[in-house]
Chains A and B, each alone.
Chain A
Amino acid sequence: KRVRDTRTKLAPAYHLILEGILILWIIRLLFSKTYKLQERSDLTLKEKEELIEEWQPEPLVPPVPKDHPALNYNIVSGPPTHIITVNGKECINFASFNFLGLLNNEKVKSAAQASLKKYGVGTCGPRGFYGTFDVHLELEERLAKFMRTEEAIIYSYGFATIASAIPAYSKRGDIVFVDEAACFAIQKGLQASRSNIKLFKHNDMADLERLLKEQETEDQKNPRKARVTRRFIVVEGLYMNTGDICPLPELIKLKYKYKVRIFLEESLSFGVLGEHGRGITEHFGINIDDIDLISANMENSLASIGGFCCGRSFIIDHQRLSGQGYCFSASLPPLLAAAAIEALNIMEDSPDIFQTLRAKCERIHKALQGISGLKVVGESFSPALHLQLEESCGSRENDVKLLKRVVDYCMNSGIALTQARYLEKEEKCLPPPRTRTGQICVELDCCFLIPLSHIIRISVLHCIVTSRFFH
């Protein structure tokens, strides 16, 4: 039988017509004019030149009024320890974050001197290009050992630590749940990360759970996207803006329930909370591996400069290539790293320093209660307290002016306080005006305790007695 050869059969007519139409369409597209997405400019050269002539830009910066409170800085001569000379006047320093009093410690200074004699001042390069010194490696090892984590990484600037750490992990499309009272560095880190930010009310676990539940229902609608969207919670151990601590045990429960990672910012709580100063995880007795990343700066308790992040190697090692403040910036000067190592030695050798600090904090907290017109904001064991006006004077400006008078009065009486400085236009949730006080420095000389609170009480009582301020 002859097999019909179907290969040479002509294609059906509709097929040919379709192909013909396609060819004609292609020819048309090739020869038609292309349209630019932007509107074509029909302006003549002369008109363009006129526009260029006419355009007047704003001045580069608007003028700042001469009496702006943030313009004229206090000038401090000499070391900013617990006795400080501000604008020529000697005061007791309640305004520096020198919690453990290590700023003027002789051992710390001699360690820094030895390092200066060996390495000079600067490192002349980032960590990748001959800027890694053995002191940096030693400091990282010591911090990791102290915090009982696998690895630590140091930055040369405290602000840049958390601001570089967050964008290294959280990218566009990821979700970050952050407390409303988060400090400015965290806000900048979040802005740089371009992630979705969800704010929850300060320390309100119910609000956070509500947001997490909402996210869960969203996820169920789009499980594919949910599988690649990372989620983080960013909280501080001891909040700078409110002086209270975060409820870490509840956060851990939420972490495992909703599969969210926790980043903890411990700038104020490192070296303050916990039996040995390991921070809020020690305070609550939580396993440190439950926290994905702990970030802190070394500018408070350690009285040095810079910051560090610690956690498991799986997490920290990533920052060595993706942390912008680490890769693209010069490393920490060795003398500051040596000072931090010595400060860490002191913290390890004398753990009773933390009890002394706590006792003094409680004392001052009690002593500042009951001043009419001012309320104390902050936990009793927090070394950073705020004094806030109970009733506002009407506008933020007036509040600020009033507090400035309080601060000036205290300075003249020998107590250095400071107004908490905020950039009004930049903060997401601007805290009300207040003075920051009670940055208690541990003075190991115990007989200093009693006169300290005595002076505070008297000077504040003076305010009440003269009743110039509150009526």
Chain B
Amino acid sequence: MTDLKYRLAPASEMSRYCFPNNAVSGDASRCVCLIDSSTVEEINHIVHNGGLYKRPFNEAFEETPMLVAVLTYVGYGVLTLFGYLRDFMRQWKIEKCQNATEREEQKDFVPLYQDFENFYNRNLYMRIRDSWNRPICSVPGAKVDMMERVSHDYNWTFTYTGRVIKDIINMGSYNYLGFAQKTGACQEAAAKVLSQYGAGVCSTRQEMGNLDKHEELEKLVARFLGVESAMAYGMGFATNSMNIPALVGKGCLILSDELNHASLVLGARLSGATIRIFKHNNMQSLEKLLKDAIVHGQPRTRRPWKKILILVEGIYSMEGSIVRLPEVIALKKKYKSYLYLDEAHSIGALGPSGRGVVEYFGLNPEDVDVMMGTFTKSFGAAGGYIGGKKELIDYLRTYSHSAAYATSMSPPVVEQIITSVKCIMGEDGTNIGRARVQQLAENTRYFRRRLKEMGFIIYGNEDSPVVPLMLYMPAKIGAFGREMLKRNIGVVVVGFPATPIIESRARFCLSAAHTKEMLDTGGSVLATRTKQFCKYTWEQEEV
């Protein structure tokens, strides 16, 4: 075991913090214990289900140090006070009011926005607004060109200087397998299809928008995933929000992870089913909910539930954690519920041949009832898909909202997906796909190890290409983004409300297109320039 936090102990010492060593090295007489330190809480571990995992599962979410938490709250408090002060000054015209205002003719209408709703926007978000929506003008590959913009009024308005900042190392785009390219087989194929078919489709799938290309794509995706049948949609977000209502309705129960994506939450809400939340990646919480649901039935009427659907994601993009799929499938089989797996980030990024989290854990794709994913991240295109049994897909072809009312996918985009899937599967006759998947795994391990060695707090699973680096304090969000950009590295910073209020973070998305030199550059910038204000971890203990 290369991780510093574990030690081997005799099996008799097995406690809540251990997992059987046979999951790792085949030795059943010993268990691997986590160091029971008071600063190391909430470390997820495999307990009695160790036999379900065929590979080590290392996730860590180090707890926020107390001093840092207090300082973060103080920081937000100061910002809020200043916010009130500025609002006061704006109201009394001491300071110029920069926001857009309502029309004169409509001043007596009910106000469109409540003042408080926008407090966060005006006073906190506006100060660091330049960290987001950065406009680029090249392929979003490993290096990207950005349009320079300046603000002379503290981010209320931006002007473009006309200069282009070239060759910024791009650690923010979801380009896991490096298919965002402007040259190569994918681009040529897409160009050919574009000249043949045009850009749009102008009709829905059920009417006149079902091209032969779509049928080809769906067969290919089904083969890639190892399922009976698949269906593709034009937007990943809409795949969730339009298909979950088709699968479940009133009288059904949805068990959704705490940190699910907005599209899953919206789809669950629109379906009209009852929603219950279980703690993030916590199997005990999920099992308790399942037991209670079946035993007690629907609230008040006590009728049995029509069906239970568990919504989980493959990789959670804000935490970098991977779902505990073997345990979820074991629970699902035991309690006869259905599993909806959203592989937006994990398809192409996990698994020895890029087939996602199911392959990563060595499980059978038929165990997952609904396999959903998107083409935006690892395939360099746009859209989403759902794969599963033929009855499921036939039903979705008939009753999905998207098939009946939304325009189908654009042909060049479809061709890009077809070419990139064939490349990953190795059917184009080259080794590129395989090499990229391996490169991504290597990059992930290397980068994560380096950041840990430098002393940063990194969340998530060891194998996840999404690397969140904790910043905590609000001022550091803006500072980190700007410092990295000055040194030509583009990162993504996230704060409230995408994350809990004291857990702001910077997020690195690794790519197979990143070379070791780029990762080293990133690491050295972090080590020299930003380390003094981001180094938090207390964990340096040796085994």
Residues on A lying within 8 angstroms of B by beta carbon are: 41, 43, 48, 51-52, 55-64, 68, 70-71, 73-81, 84, 86, 93, 95-98, 103-105, 108-109, 112-113, 116-125, 127-134, 136-137, 156-160, 169, 183-185, 188, 191-192, 226-231, 256, 259, 261, 289, 297, 299-300, 302-305, 312-315, 317-318, 320-321, 324-325, 327-330, 332-333, 335-336, 339, 416, 418-423, 426, 436
The CA of A426 and the CA of B186, in the complex, are separated in Å by 39
Surface stretch bound by A, among B36-44, B46-54, B170-178, B432-440: B170-178
User: Which residues between 289 and 314 of chain B lie within 8 Å of chain A, taking CB atoms?
Assistant: 291, 294-296, 304-308
Residue in chain A with minimal CB distance to B141 = A120
23 inter-chain pairs at a CB distance below 8 angstroms, sorted by A residue, are: A52-B294, A60-B392, A62-B395, A70-B403, A80-B202, A93-B208, A96-B209, A97-B202, A121-B190, A121-B380, A121-B381, A122-B180, A124-B174, A131-B173, A132-B136, A157-B237, A159-B235, A159-B401, A160-B237, A261-B106, A305-B407, A329-B238, A420-B207
In contact, B199 and A108 (Cβ under 8 angstroms): yes
Q: How far is the CA of A251 from the CA of B213 in the complex (A)?
A: 44
Q: Is the CB of A137 within 8 A of B135?
A: yes
Q: CB distance B391 to A73 under 8 Å? A: no
Whose C-beta in chain B lies nearest to the C-beta of A328? B262
Q: For B406, list chain A residues within 8 Å (CB).
A: 157-159, 185
Q: Are B194 and A128 in contact (CB under 8 A)?
A: no
Given contacts A55-B294, A304-B200, A330-B382, contact A120 B238 (CB under 8 A): no
- A418–B212 Cα distance when bound, in Å, is 18
Q: Is B404 an interface residue (CB 8 A)?
A: yes
Give the residue of A73, A80, A130, A227 whose beta carbon is less than 8 angstroms from that of B170. Answer: A130
Closest to A170 in B: B112
Q: Are A124 and B377 in contact (CB under 8 A)?
A: yes
Tell me if B203 counts as interface (CB < 8 A to partner A).
Answer: yes
Bound-state CA distance A256–B108 (Å) is 10
Say whether, besides A113-B191, A121-B412, A314-B101, A80 and B110 are in contact (CB < 8 Å): no
Q: Which residues of A contact B197 (CB under 8 A)?
A: 78-79
The stretch of B88-96, B274-282, B335-343, B352-360 in contact with A is: B335-343
Q: How far is the CA of A133 from the CA of B490 in the complex (A)?
A: 15
Of all A-B residue pairs in the complex, the 6 with the closest CB atoms, nearest first, are: A157-B235, A61-B395, A329-B237, A314-B100, A73-B210, A339-B199
Give the dominant DSSP class at A's interface: loop
Q: Is the CB of A64 within 8 A of B209?
A: no
> Distance in Å from the Cβ of B191 to the closest Cβ of chain A?
6
How many interface residues does chain B have, given as a range?
35 or more
Bound form: Cα–Cα A432–B94 in Å: 61
In the complex, are the beta carbons of B377 and A55 less than 8 A apart?
A: no
**A335 with B100: CB separation less than 8 A:** no
- Assess whether B399 is interfacial by the CB under 8 Å rule: yes
Known contacts: A313-B100, A321-B121. The answer to whether A125 contacts B172 by CB under 8 A is: yes
On chain A, the residues within 8 Å of B135 by CB distance are 132-134, 136-137
How distant is the Cα of A235 from the Cα of B22 in the complex, in angstroms? 64
The chain A residue with its CB closest to the CB of B248 is A60
Q: A104 to chain B: which residues have CB within 8 Å? A: 198
A80 with B201: CB separation less than 8 A: yes
Chain B residues with CB under 8 Å of A339's CB are: 199-200
- Assess the B211–A228 pair: CB atoms within 8 A: no
Question: What sequence of 0s and 1s flags, for each residue 101-118 of chain B, a beta carbon within 8 Å of any chain A beta carbon?
Answer: 111011011111110000
Complex: how many Å from CA A305 to CA B381?
14
Would you call A333 and B382 a contact (CB within 8 A)? yes
Query: Shortest beta-carbon distance, B266 to chain A, in Å?
Result: 6
Say yes or no: A120-B380 contact (C-beta < 8 A), given A61-B395, A74-B208, A130-B134. Answer: yes
Q: Give, as a whole number of angstroms, the nearest-CB distance from B271 to chain A.
A: 10
The winner among A129, A185, A423 for most chain B CB atoms within 10 A is: A129
- Additional pairs, 8, CB under 8 Å, beyond known A116-B190, A134-B147, A299-B407: A61-B247, A64-B395, A74-B207, A75-B210, A119-B182, A122-B379, A183-B405, A314-B102
The answer to whether A303 and B182 have CB atoms under 8 Å apart is no
Cβ–Cβ contact B140 & A103, under 8 A: no
Q: B202's contact among A130, A227, A303, A321, by CB below 8 Å, is which? A: A303
On whether the beta carbons of B199 and A96 are closer than 8 Å, the reply is: no
Do B270 and A61 have beta carbons less than 8 Å apart? no
Asked if B413 is an interface residue, CB under 8 A from chain A, the answer is yes
B197, B200, B375 interface centre (most CB from chain A within 10 Å)? B200
**What CA separation (Å) do A60 and B234 show in the bound complex?**
24
Closest B residue to A304 using CB positions: B200
Given contacts A60-B247, A426-B401, contact A192 B270 (CB under 8 A): yes
**Which residue of the partner chain, among A76, A79, A184, A329, contacts B405 with CB atoms under 8 Å?**
A184
Residue of B nearest to A342 (CB): B199
Q: Is the CB of A128 within 8 A of B392?
A: no
Q: Is the CB of A329 within 8 A of B236?
A: yes
User: Are B234 and A305 touching (Cβ within 8 A)?
Assistant: yes
Query: For A324, what are the chain B residues with a Cβ–Cβ distance below 8 Å?
Result: 237, 262-263, 266
* With A55-B336, A77-B212, A228-B110: A184-B401 Cβ-Cβ less than 8 Å: yes
| CB of A5, distance to nearest CB on chain B (Å) | 45
- The answer to whether B376 has its CB under 8 Å from any CB of chain A is yes
CB <8 Å contact, A122 and B144 = no
A57 touches B306 (CB 8 A): yes
| Known A121-B190, A335-B194, A336-B410: A71·B235 in contact at CB below 8 Å | no
